[in-house]
Structure 1
């Protein structure tokens, strides 16, 4: 009798390409535990068999499971550069994102003091991408990133170039309009917020190897929640370019914010601009 050998097992999913996290020191003030708990708790929150390709990265696995992204098959391409979560104090979302990028080798309090000393900010607000780029270029070398290359970028965020740079290990500081859930939305800048884009995930597209609105997701952190946020790269781009208006409320306590000449839409503002940091 002739027997047919069983088919070989499927190949394992491709490993995530990621950066090694640097040990943080100093007192960041509001360092957040990932996903409201340890990596183990994040892993426990995902049922067996869901997003198994990300089992080595519990926070990413949890974020993908919640978003129902690639629950069975691995993404076509993915890169996640580890960065710690930091909860902001007051309007310090941009400085908290900068501290995340520096992996807490730079504390939010130190970033705030530097921004205030240079006239970029009064209360932690950062309404100028140019100022954010200058601050990052000055502070990152002393935070253990001597080779970091900081670039103010005005090219469209939703592009193949953005995907390629993130896949190569870049991180990006991106201002956007935040919804009540802190996700990107078109609200004209009334809830301007900053995200650290620390990765990218590309799922299968209707037209392979082409940028498509439904197949590329930014892996982000932001200062209102300790976990990872996944959002469409196109939605983040649209929100970034919709930063068209900001008026400080007259009933708000504290010093007035520092706004660049020309406001948030001017050449020194936020609209259509972001900061790229490479060679991390």
Structure 2
């Protein structure tokens, strides 16, 4: 079957070895930014990734101006970030889950694309940009609703300005002093995207759900992550302690390579499609969430 994205010949034996480990097994999947690059969302650490200073939770909480700067950039970037579509790698994983090969996906991404691809058991370790939470009362909002409020409060914002998207939906913005940001309609509290900022911890219940998925599975597949983020390595360690085979698919070196039973140095999308073709009987629909298969680093 011509799937349009071919795994390099040099990796064929490794792909076959990984498929053999996953066949008739319960597979937990851990994904990183490399899974979403084919949807047009740049990664943090791959070749060509923008050099930027991330917003920390301490900075966000420290000043009203910092929050204005964040929301101004995030509002502009949301148009591109929110419009991204699941690519064939996302669809391949959803297909594998529907076929019973994949038990669920733990993702470090905040783009919501696994859910939109049809994933039914998705643990979003770092939250999702399509939700907003009040830091005072915990009220949650759809991101689109907050975007509409921002547009009403700031009619002079030029949404057609050139945007350089970043992995968390942010962009760089120079002048934010005139920016007005909405408050919680329930208590008047500070609103924040429902994601884990730098300097925050993954919620305990979220990590427990991820850990339960990994420890109840037979194999751990890591796709598109360099495993630099500590939460990912903690899950690798849980799998190692249970002597689960670990498969790593990523362009370039990862922190988990020494623990991997199989390491495939290739793009996430085409490799996941190959897995779906072998284990689920067919590939993810061609032409959905196109993009190139080149960028799969984090």
Same fold per superposition (TM over 0.5): no
Report which structure shows greater RCO (CA 8 Å, sep ≥6).
2
Quick check: which one's helix share is greater?
Answer: 2
Shorter-chain-normalised TM-score: which range?
under 0.3
TM-score relative to the length of structure 2: 0.23
TM-score after normalising by structure 1: 0.24
Identify the structure with the greater strand proportion: 1
